[in-house]
């Protein structure tokens, strides 16, 4: 029988997850269906339970339900528990288990697809929202030396910096106080979605080997254009992260890891 999966969000029409999972299923020969479900605001848990009762085996979760998804799970794995948000649920023996693969997708894209060694690197992370929280543990696990989180609302950056406690060298900063010396500059803000950019001082880009924009499909965003202006070694957007987090979910659900390279190539919008 065909196993049923879905992505839940509100709105949901924009989600690329059905195409990604259809490509992975075709590639690996898995018999599964994957649909978009727009849960009503305030009705996420009921919609998830109805989906499970109808035989759903797992689901992805996107804005604005990631925090609720972690909260309703019977068990939250580290990646979800640390950031208090889940982007993936799996039904295991009738129990709901939560994971968050956004951060691991980001790290795989940087380390494997872009070939950037993260060990000992100094990372500037602009933004302190859900994507920033999810990225912390995988970056520390990958061996970065330090993460500095800059955010307009600096109290939010301080709260995020405390999430991993003594497990990593993570601190908060105001944008104006940033100094040069970063190897990687990550834009985890949602500024690019409205054509804006975070107020990172130019000197914070100087000498960096990679500027990475988590948003995708937007071409060369103001953040990436600015990084180029300051001669950052390389620029990239988040299409690889998107595909890698989907591949992690697929592997967790189905026990098979798909080849991500052709899917990334298919979705890539040139950065020029």
Residues numbered 230 to 259 that lie near ligand NDP (CB under 6 A) are 238, 241-242, 245
Q: Is 250 helix (H, G, I), strand (E, B) or coil?
A: helix
Active-site residue 66, yes or no?
yes
Shortest CB 95 distance to ligand NDP, Å: 26
Token pair in block for residue 98: 């939560």
Shortest CB 157 distance to ligand NDP, Å: 8
Shortest CB 231 distance to ligand NDP, Å: 23
**C-alpha count within 13 angstroms, C-beta hemisphere, residue 113:** 27
Give me the residues paired with residue 96 across strands: 91
Shortest CB 58 distance to ligand NDP, Å: 18
Q: Three-state secondary structure along 121-167?
A: CEEEEECCCHHHHHHHHHHHHCCCCEEEEECCCHHHHHHHHCCCHHH
- Count of residues of this chain found to bind ligand NDP when the rule CB under 6 A is applied: 27
Rule CB under 6 A: say whether 127 interacts with ligand NDP.
yes
Give the sign of the dihedral formed by CA 122, CA 127, CA 131, CA 134: positive
Who contacts 207 (Cβ-Cβ below 8 Å, separation ≥6)?
A: 180, 181, 182, 183
Rule CB under 6 A: say whether 198 interacts with ligand NDP.
yes
Rule CB under 6 A: say whether 183 interacts with ligand NDP.
no
Interface residue list for ligand NDP (CB under 6 A): 102, 105, 127-132, 151-153, 156, 188-193, 196, 198, 214-216, 238, 241-242, 245
* Residues forming the active site: 66
């Amino acid at each position: 029988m065909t196993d049923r999966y879905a992505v839940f969000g509100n709105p949901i029409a924009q989600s690329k997850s059905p195409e990604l999972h259809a490509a992975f299923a075709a590639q690996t020969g898995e018999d599964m269906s994957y649909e978009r479900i727009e849960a009503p605001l305030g009705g996420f848990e009921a919609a998830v339970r109805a989906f499970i009762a109808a035989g759903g085996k797992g689901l992805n979760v996107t804005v604005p339900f990631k925090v609720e998804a972690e909260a309703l799970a019977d068990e939250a794995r580290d990646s979800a528990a640390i950031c208090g948000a889940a982007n993936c649920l799996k039904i295991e023996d009738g129990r709901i288990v939560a994971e968050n693969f956004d951060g691991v997708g980001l790290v795989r894209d940087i380390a494997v697809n872009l070939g950037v060694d993260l060990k000992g690197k100094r990372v500037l992370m602009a933004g302190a929202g859900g994507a920033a929280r999810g990225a912390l543990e995988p970056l520390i696990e990958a061996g970065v030396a330090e993460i500095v989180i800059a955010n307009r609302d600096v109290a939010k950056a301080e709260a995020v910096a405390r999430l991993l406690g003594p497990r990593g060298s993570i601190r908060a900063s105001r944008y104006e106080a940033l100094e040069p010396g970063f190897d990687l500059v990550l834009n985890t803000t949602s500024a690019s979605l409205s054509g804006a950019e975070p107020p990172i001082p130019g000197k914070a880009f100087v000498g960096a080997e990679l500027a990475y924009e988590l948003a995708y499909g937007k071409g060369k965003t103001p953040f990436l254009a600015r990084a180029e202006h300051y001669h950052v070694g390389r620029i990239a957007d988040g299409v690889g992260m998107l595909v890698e987090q989907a591949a992690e979910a697929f592997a967790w659900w189905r026990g098979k890891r798909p080849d991500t390279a052709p899917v990334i190539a298919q979705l890539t919008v040139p950065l020029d």
